[in-house]
Structure 1
Amino acid sequence: MQARASSGAITRTVHTVTEADGLVVSHVRRTRLPSGLRIVTEQMAGARSASVGVWVGVGSRDERAATHGASHFLEHLLFKGTSERSALDISIELDAVGGEFNAFTAKEYTCFHARVLAADLPLAIDVLGDMITGSLIATHDVDAERDVILDEIAMHDDDPDDVVQNLLAELAWGDGSPLGRPIAGTTASIEAMTPAQIKRFYRRHYVPANTVISVAGALDHGAVVRAVKKAFGRQGWLDELAAPAPPRATAARRRPKVSAAEGRVARPFEQVNLVIGREGLTRDDDRRYALGVLNTALGGGTSSRLFQEVREQRGLAYSVYSFASHYADSGLVGVAVGCLPDRTDEVLAVVREQLRLIAADGITEDELARGKGQLVGGMILGLEDSGSRMVRLGKNELVHGEVLGIDEVIARIEAVTIGDVRAIAAEVFGRPELLALVGPA
């Protein structure tokens, strides 16, 4: 069902979930304003709180070398004050109502979010709208926050998990590619970045057509749309002539090619942290559901092959797991292990043998059933609060351009066959190997 308001906004019902007695337990609606801003809400029966997220389609992969780290820098700076609110005002207004607020930056998007009591949702929307549209990005704030970010980079450099994952990305795509660079930037790029560069980056990417607002919890969709128009209408930000969304950094480039590579970073850690990776699937590849089942069976829980073989049977490591990440034009799958230095060779041999076996033979029917059950159960349990539903709404609308119903996602998972998993295992784990190691020299 779709309706066009007199303002030119287009609203439609995405899906509705009702109980057998007719009680509506979830109602998802979407409005697109003439400026291109999208507002997606999920009304949750019985909720007394609401979560709101502002999703901007810009991340570290959209940066040039000169602006490496600008997305993350802006994540910090937008909390530093506007013409209406100081940084302290922003904190006080949300703290005063017991609200939770934060932000995060990824390779392909940035999100600012808050969770409040339902009655305080208009306040949360107003604060976020002020931050997004009216940030001052003052020179003294840039200089002060620069030191904070440099400290954060140093903190990540002391975390072996962060170091090894950054190394894996660099091996996969190269440090000359935005996908291969660390999200926070480097010491050199952050020290060199100027307020003028950050402001240009802000004006280019923080536009309505590149933004999604997602809200979940106790709410009325119409009231949310009105609150968004008021909060984000500051300084003409929602004018119909607002700038279109900038093209993604991938638009004029060939698909990144991942070749076999190995790298090691020496750190005086007690453990060796290693990742064996392969190129995975793009975020819109329908086979990602089969890969999700495969990933769960391989290293997604205590019954998985890797946990049983590496930890339970051989006692080679405390932590072992597999993962899959998806981007617009590439992806990664891998196995991460932390072990004592003298066990590195044995761990590598055992993990490689498990990957060889799963590539050759796929998984069993029991593993298929457990993998589906774990995916479905984890997804549903993860959607018990308004915050997780807000994330699902915003990310899916921004990244995929649609929000699938929970039942439809479950149906796609349940439709995965053992043949689907065998085929994706043979393809993915037959690709060139990436090996990243971090630990004692």
Structure 2
Amino acid sequence: MPLDLPLDVPGSDLILDPEARIRRSLLPGGVRLLTETDRSVRSASIGFWLPVGSRDETPQHAGSTHVLEHLLFKGTARRSAMDIAAAFDEVGGESNAVTAKEHTFYYGRVRSTDVPIAVDVLTDMLTSSRLADEALETEREVILEELAMAADDPSDIGYETFLEQVIGPGTALGRPVGGTAETVGALHGEDVRAHYRTHYRPDSLVVTAVGDLDHDELARMVLERLAEGGWELPDGALPAPGRAPAPGRRETGTSAVAELVPHRLGRDTEQVHVYLGGPGLPATDPQRHVMNVLMSILGGGMSSRLFQHIREERGLAYSVYSFSGGYREAGLFGMYAACRPARTEEVVALLREELAELGRSGPAPEEMRRALGQITGSLALGLEDTSSRMGRLGSTELIHGRYASVDETIGRIAAVSAQDVQELARTLAGSFTTRVDIGPAV
């Protein structure tokens, strides 16, 4: 059975998985540390997670979380931006960061002997970044170029538009993670510093690490470096509460219409990029494993229905697939295809029909076998990488609040039945709400 991860037991220490050597501790200040010790490797992946993302911004400050992530690499009281970059380069390591809708994540991967260097640099960035106005002015231009690059990619802008329309135009969750050129251009240094002070705290911090390391030694290093950076770490402090409980899955199956009026974005491209779908499942929904199997069968690979029937048999598209995404209280599902303009309506009709047919007749036994093998095999192969396992621990803590072993997860996937897939496909086939077309007019 999954093991709950409490936030209200000061100093608690849990052995989550003795066989996998996974351990979780609540440290002074409310810092959470999860590790998996693996002596078969000579490296370690370390991540510092904060439960703040673009959905936590005001409309006026949209993009501030992403800007803050960039600024943490631009220098601290002890290190210049070059020093931060060189610290990992000179030991053959790597470091980066990710801003998402519901969290921000800083990470490094180094040889096990260089773990102290990685911890020192990453904690220095977290606690002591200068967040100087002059750094903001320089990095603002870099981020505006990043936004411009995304706006030049029709599949990128198409997905962002699709997500916004499904989740809700004008909502915090529906906004682009990076904000817009207008909001980023209007940000002031004090806006970013206020965002930092609100969200970068020890009781929000989650540290995850996998590799050739010792849990207790890593805990000591992290606490020492955080204290050196000026963070207060009182004994008995508890982690900050997580996001409010999700209000329940958004209703599906009630929005089917004969035709969807597409949200069109004109672009001077050779193809029309089509996104078609609607509301899906939140990240913690019990049916999420069913959704994964369904997406695999529908459009998850070269043997999937969309690939075989639209590309291989009819030659109507080069790129075609299905996808899903989940957040705390909302989710989405969709299908994507890129085709020449004259073929757009035929391709859209086929996308809808493939999902409808899966809902009418269900998957064949060989489709179930392939999908289950694809998902469990990908999971097993991914977990040979310490970075993937480190990321899994972060998701376990921040999203699910409970730990399930790999065997338990594989068991839940294997328990998905053809009837489960058929019922969810039937529901989704009646839940189309959104179509986005990017390209020239047909």
Would the TM-score normalized by the shorter structure come out above 0.5?
Answer: yes
Structure 1 position 51 matched with structure 2 position 45: yes
Report what 2:306 is aligned to: 306
Q: 1:229 aligns with which of 220, 223, 226?
A: 223
Counterpart of 1:179 in 2: which secondary structure?
coil
Counterpart of 1:188 in 2: which secondary structure?
helix
Map 1:27-66 → 2, pairs under 5 A: 27-66=21-60
CA contact (8 A) 1:169 1:179 kept: no
CA contact (8 A) 1:172 1:261 kept: no
1:85 Cα offset (Å) = 1.2
Counterpart of 2:301 in 1: which secondary structure?
coil
Q: Which amino acid aligns with 1:238?
A: L
Report what 1:317 is aligned to: 317
Report what 2:204 is aligned to: 210
Report what 2:335 is aligned to: 335
Map 1:381-396 → 2, pairs under 5 A: 381-396=381-396
Structure 1 position 69 matched with structure 2 position 63: yes
After superposition, the Cα gap between the structure-2 partners of 1:207 and 1:143, relative to the gap in structure 1 and judged at 3 Å, is: same
After superposition, the Cα gap between the structure-2 partners of 1:255 and 1:262, relative to the gap in structure 1 and judged at 3 Å, is: farther
1:80 Cα offset (Å) = 0.8
1:235 Cα offset (Å) = 0.5
Give the superposed CA RMSD: 2.2
Report what 1:276 is aligned to: 276
Q: 1:13 aligns with which of 7, 12, 15?
A: 15
In the alignment, the residues of structure 1 paired with residue 13 and residue 298 of structure 2 have an alpha-carbon distance, to the nearest angstrom, of 42
Report what 2:126 is aligned to: 132
In the alignment, the residues of structure 1 paired with residue 242 and residue 37 of structure 2 have an alpha-carbon distance, to the nearest angstrom, of 32
After superposition, the Cα gap between the structure-2 partners of 1:395 and 1:253, relative to the gap in structure 1 and judged at 3 Å, is: closer
Counterpart of 2:30 in 1: which secondary structure?
coil
Alpha-carbon displacement from aligned partner over 1:3-47 (angstroms, at most 9, x marks no partner): xxxxx6322110033xxxxxxxx3111111242211111112311
CA contact (8 A) 2:167 2:331 kept: no
Map 1:143-182 → 2, pairs under 5 A: 143-182=137-176
Alpha-carbon displacement from aligned partner over 1:174-197 (angstroms, at most 9, x marks no partner): 331011111111011001111111
Structure 1 position 369 matched with structure 2 position 331: no
Q: Which amino acid aligns with 1:124?
A: A
Q: How many residues end up aligned between the 2 structures?
A: 428
Q: Which amino acid aligns with 2:61?
A: T
- Percent identical: 44
CA contact (8 A) 1:208 1:242 kept: no
CA contact (8 A) 2:167 2:279 kept: no
In the alignment, the residues of structure 2 paired with residue 64 and residue 245 of structure 1 have an alpha-carbon distance, to the nearest angstrom, of 21
Alpha-carbon displacement from aligned partner over 1:273-323 (angstroms, at most 9, x marks no partner): 111112100111111011111110111111111110011100111111111
CA contact (8 A) 2:352 2:429 kept: no
After superposition, the Cα gap between the structure-2 partners of 1:111 and 1:426, relative to the gap in structure 1 and judged at 3 Å, is: same
1:433 Cα offset (Å) = 2.7
In the alignment, the residues of structure 2 paired with residue 73 and residue 243 of structure 1 have an alpha-carbon distance, to the nearest angstrom, of 28
After superposition, the Cα gap between the structure-2 partners of 1:130 and 1:379, relative to the gap in structure 1 and judged at 3 Å, is: same
In the alignment, the residues of structure 1 paired with residue 411 and residue 282 of structure 2 have an alpha-carbon distance, to the nearest angstrom, of 21
Alpha-carbon displacement from aligned partner over 1:114-167 (angstroms, at most 9, x marks no partner): 100010011101111111111111000111111111010000001111111111
Structure 1 position 346 matched with structure 2 position 340: no
Q: Which amino acid aligns with 1:10?
A: S
Counterpart of 1:30 in 2: which secondary structure?
strand
1:242 Cα offset (Å) = 7.4
1:361 Cα offset (Å) = 2.3
Q: Which amino acid aligns with 2:13?
A: T
In the alignment, the residues of structure 2 paired with residue 354 and residue 240 of structure 1 have an alpha-carbon distance, to the nearest angstrom, of 57
Counterpart of 1:314 in 2: which secondary structure?
coil
Counterpart of 1:180 in 2: which secondary structure?
coil
Report what 2:413 is aligned to: 413
CA contact (8 A) 1:74 1:198 kept: yes
In the alignment, the residues of structure 2 paired with residue 420 and residue 190 of structure 1 have an alpha-carbon distance, to the nearest angstrom, of 44
1:253 Cα offset (Å) = 8.6
In the alignment, the residues of structure 2 paired with residue 262 and residue 209 of structure 1 have an alpha-carbon distance, to the nearest angstrom, of 45
1:243 Cα offset (Å) = 9.5
Higher RCO (CA-CA < 8 Å; seq separation 6+): 2
1:232 Cα offset (Å) = 1.8
After superposition, the Cα gap between the structure-2 partners of 1:131 and 1:207, relative to the gap in structure 1 and judged at 3 Å, is: same
CA contact (8 A) 1:281 1:332 kept: yes
In the alignment, the residues of structure 2 paired with residue 348 and residue 261 of structure 1 have an alpha-carbon distance, to the nearest angstrom, of 12
In the alignment, the residues of structure 2 paired with residue 332 and residue 261 of structure 1 have an alpha-carbon distance, to the nearest angstrom, of 18
Report what 1:267 is aligned to: 267
